[in-house]
Amino acid sequence: MRRVFDSVAEKYDLMNDLMSLGIHRLWKRQAIAKLKLQPGDHCLDLAGGTGDLAILMHKKMEGQGRVTLCDINLSMLKQGRKRLTDEGMVSSIDWVCGNAEKLPFPDNSFQAATIGFGIRNVTRIQRALDEMQRVVKPGGQVLVLEFSKVAIPFLRPIYDTYSFNLLPEIGQIVTKDRDSYQYLVESIRQFPDQETFKEMMESAGLYRVRYDNLSAGIAAIHVGFKV
């Protein structure tokens, strides 16, 4: 996994725009809109990459909160730090290289914990959900934005053709690394469907878990609360 993201880190944002035709930015805004954040809150963004969700959370807290951006990959953290420094936000962000399956934070540390398009790359997904629940304060939220299962049957073969045939070729042209994007496509297909993932979040001790499909289920936002 480190090799995959070491390979794509410098072109990560560009590839996201190309692969989703820019729609991932709308999905991320819709996701963060579901968080109940106030100025002064402290949030955690796992697999934070180049900082898209961190930027949106910082804005939602009116520039008066903190975001801890945690990623297992140093190359991605370096790209994120460079980007947020350019945007003048580096003083509001804490940078941590850490594993989602064993978070280096005390219990009840954050008002919200998010992970965007990263949890499918975690080896033990249930353990990561358990950890997110652990580090969130009572009453806080756990939010997962991830690719999911297309909900409209006639769209599935079209989406599969695009994913398996076109996306790896785009990866080859832009990053010279077809194999990494072939892996990313395959990881999407192996990820649990919406209802199964909802049950996994409930198994982590979260309640009032619900999900909203995005673009006919190409992606989904799952949100749950800690008691």
Question: What pTM was computed for the model?
Answer: 0.88
Looking at per-residue confidence, does 153 or 20 come out higher? 153
SS3 32: helix
Cβ within 8 Å of residue 85, ≥6 positions away: none
Arithmetic mean of pLDDT, 94-108: 96
pLDDT at residue 38, rounded to an integer? 95
Q: Can you list the domains of the chain with their CATH numbers?
A: 2-146+193-226 (3.40.50.150)
Give the Å distances, CA to CA, from 105 to 49, 98, 137, 146. 19, 10, 12, 23
Arithmetic mean of pLDDT, 25-52: 94
Taking the C-alpha atoms of residue 116 and residue 31, their distance in angstroms, rounded to an integer, is 9
Taking the C-alpha atoms of residue 210 and residue 85, their distance in angstroms, rounded to an integer, is 35
pLDDT at residue 7, rounded to an integer? 47
Query: Would you list which residues are annotated within the binding site?
Result: 50, 71, 99-100
Cβ atoms of 211 and 146 within 8 Å: the answer is no
Residues paired with 222 in a beta bridge: 144, 211
Query: Would you list which residues are annotated within the binding site for S-adenosyl-L-methionine?
Result: 50, 71, 99-100
For 43-73, the pLDDT digits (tens) are: 999 998 788 899 999 999 998 999 999 999 8
User: Considering only CA atoms, which of 2, 179, 176 is closest in space to residue 76?
Assistant: 2
